[in-house]
Structure 1
Amino acid sequence: MTEECAQCGFVYDLTKATTAVEAINERVGAAAAVLRDGDVDVRSRRHPEVWSPLEYGCHLRDVLLVQRERVLAARRVDRPDYPAMGRDERVVHDGYAEQEPADVARQLADAAQMFGNALTRLSDDDWNRTLLYHFPETSERSLRWVAMHTLHEAQHHLRDITHQID
């Protein structure tokens, strides 16, 4: 069964997992460029229930860092049970809306590089290692899926960001 995002059309093609790093870097670069653009209001929410571009940038940064830790954990331990990241709580707990856009843009690039480094060091066998993943429901997932899900996150949230500034 092929997974596809109904909102952005992303298709989880696990055969492309080993090439996800470049695509992630492209999308993160585009998101960071928006955050660095001083002519764009990245702090305001266009709708109260939808995160601002800055908040999406912070979320994407944290996704990359959490995913890196998940990959590293799966290399150390068989089938680790890595907890959910607490995506909604982080917005408030880490003060996403108050962070400096230029700092977040830089951190996004750094997080993408760190995640990419973890992926590029995987052996053929490592790509098939698994972990328990708790989003959208708890299931056992391979590192191939983690790579593709992270690419999906980058693509989906770039879309979230750019739709607010168009």
Structure 2
Amino acid sequence: MPIIPDEKDWTWVLSRPCPECSFDASTATPATVPGSVENMLPRWRAVLRRPEVAERPDDRTWSALEYACHVRDVFTLFDQRLNLMLDDDSAQFENWDQDRTAVEKDYANADPAVVSAELTAEGTQIAESFAGVREAEWGRRGVRSNGSEFTVLTLAQYFLHDVVHHLHDVDG
């Protein structure tokens, strides 16, 4: 059964802590972003080893496997967006339909072991990319297709919330 798309604009997490997962974007700094990503990877791998990983808790909620596939793709997408921002100080981000991606990539039937390896590789890659950002680059700008503006720092904070929030969603 398809999931009802999440069409919320989550950029508000940049100005106040998330009441659901308790993530506070203001605590993420250039020095902490890479380690934050790396510290979440073992938790995601543990989630993917659960026997019930592919079971949806209800008809409206992704399974832990589907969330992990989404996070893997978030790692890839945000690495691309980060690199675009580093190459172009007025980067424009194309729209990404996460729900369509979930269907097209068949998240629900993915192999958890494969997803674990891919999530780890993509997570390691984006952590390395953020670690390579020079001090003068953290203020570079990019604009999402809906007009939301980011600096490299706010992109990192927004990105981290997504990964933390989904760990919360799966009790990871």
2:131 is equivalent to residue 120 of structure 1: yes
Whether the 8 Å CA contact 1:28–1:158 is kept in 2: the answer is: no
Bigger Cα displacement from structure 2, 51-60 vs 9-18: 9-18
Residue 33 of structure 2 corresponds to which residue in structure 1? Answer: 20
**Residue 10 of structure 1 is aligned with which of 14, 18, 23?**
23
Once residues 120 and 20 of structure 2 are traced to their aligned partners in structure 1, the CA distance between those partners, rounded to angstroms, is: 25
CA RMSD after TM alignment:
1.7
Separation in 2, partners of 1:58, 1:158: 12
SS in 2 for 1:80: strand
Q: Does the 8 A contact of 2:89 with 2:140 survive in 1?
A: yes
- Aligned equivalent of 2:157, options 126, 148, 157: 148
Q: Give CA deviations for 1:75-131 in whole Å, capped at 9, x if unaligned.
A: 111211111221111110110011100110111110111101111111111111010
1:35 aligns with 2:48: yes
Letter in 2 for 1:19: T
Question: Are 1:17 and 1:148, in contact at CA under 8 Å, matched by a contact in 2?
Answer: no
1:133 aligns with 2:144: yes
Change in CA separation of 1:17 and 1:56 when aligned onto 2, cut-off 3 Å: same
Q: Does 2:98 correspond to 1:87?
A: yes
C-alpha separation in 1, matches of 2:83 and 2:27 = 19
CA distances 1:50-87 after superposition (whole Å, capped 9, x unpaired): 00000000000000100000000001112111112211
Q: Which residue of 2 aligns with 1:54?
A: 65
Contact 2:28 2:157 in 1 (8 A): no
Aligned-partner Cα distance in 2 for 1:69–1:15: 20
Aligned counterpart in structure 1 of residue 88 of structure 2, from 61, 77, 81: 77
Contact residue 93 and residue 142 of structure 2 kept, 8 A: yes
Match of 2:56 in 1: 45
**Identity percentage of aligned residues:** 26
The Cα offsets for residues 17-36 of structure 1, whole Å up to 9 and x where unpaired, read as 33111112222320121202
Q: What 5-or-longer segments of structure 1 have no aligned partner?
A: none
Higher helix share: 1
| TM-score, length basis structure 2 | 0.86
Contact kept, 8 Å, 1:14 with 1:145, in 2: the verdict is no
**Other structure's SS at 2:31 match:** helix
Unaligned runs of 5+ residues in structure 2 are 1-13
* 2:101 is equivalent to residue 109 of structure 1: no
Instruction: Name the counterpart of 2:8.
Output: none
Q: State the alpha-carbon separation in 2 of the partners of residues 57 and 158 from structure 1.
A: 9
